[in-house]
Amino acid sequence: MNRRNTETVHAVADNLFLELGITDLQGLLKEGENIACGIECYQLSHGEIFSLDVNREEIDRYNFCKSLEAPYYVIASSPSSRKFQIFTIADEEDKFELIETLNETSFLAWWKQKQSFTQKKGMYEAQARIKDSYIDKLLFSNDLAWGVNIDGFKLDNAGNLLYIIEKRITGRDVTQYDPNRFFRGTQNKSGDYPSWKILKDLADRLEIPLLLATFDKTSQIVGLTRIMEVSARDGLSYSNEIYLFSNTQQIQTEISRLITI
């Protein structure tokens, strides 16, 4: 059972998010301003049965969607049977329960009810990581788009959202890296304004900060700042320059400072 995941495997970023209790959400489906649902997808091997524990991360995803007044679904896709099982977390929050099983035609209709627009932005780096994904092949072959990816979000012990954090990994030296320089894109790659705008609007809707964490391919250094504004004309506005850290406690202290600005 493989989880659909477009994230780059990065030991420093992955371990940091784990230590800080930051959870990701692979998909948030929306139609206009309406948030339809949050989703995760697991692809089953031939004859495999869906089996997933309701752990802390799943409860976090459930509560994140609940904050948006949207349901949270886990989709089990089976290429061998060409079926999709839709699960939700039971009211007791201790197990997943199956709510419906759909064939390809019914599943596409289910998806279109929640998000009907087509894929506009190229997947670029993520393309290789979803090349064997049954659900992606079916959606893209029917001109449908995947949902908004949330790199990370943090809740407190009471289940209240504290912040959303966007993770950017560069092949350059992180000490010289600023995502703002690539905001408008290049001749071969579209710009980042739409994806940043969605995240900032989401954070504003939830009345929580949007943070930025930058990493490179080789060092232990992490860059941190807070996104204050996202402008099609002016790009990203930060609370301060991207400060650099290599110690988890320092990073936690900086995040605590950034979210109170």
Secondary structure in 3-state letters for 71-102: CEEEEEEECCCCEEEEEEECCCCCCEEEEEEE
The residues pairing with 43 across neighbouring beta strands, listed in sequence order, are: 2, 77
In this predicted structure, what is the pLDDT of residue 188? 66
Same domain, 138 and 191: no
Is 126 a domain residue? Answer: yes
In this predicted structure, what is the pLDDT of residue 186? 66
Residue 108 phi, psi (nearest 5): -60, -40
Same domain, 121 and 193: no
Q: Nearest to residue 185, comparing CAs of 232, 228, 222, 143?
A: 232
Question: Which domain, by its residues, includes 209?
Answer: 160-258
In this predicted structure, what is the pLDDT of residue 129? 56
Is 17 a domain residue? Answer: no
The ranges of the chain with pLDDT < 50 are 123-124
Number of domains in the chain: 2
In this predicted structure, what is the pLDDT of residue 131? 78
Give the domain-ending residue among 148, 180, 208: 148
Is 155 a domain residue? Answer: no
Give the domain-ending residue among 113, 148, 183: 148
In this predicted structure, what is the pLDDT of residue 124? 45
Is 49 a domain residue? Answer: yes
- Per residue in 160-208, pLDDT (tens digit) is 999 999 999 999 899 999 999 888 876 666 688 999 999 999 999 999 9
Give the domain-ending residue among 95, 121, 148: 148
Same domain, 65 and 97: yes
Is 16 a domain residue? Answer: no
Same domain, 144 and 32: yes
Round to the nearest angstrom and report the end-to-end CA distance of the chain: 42
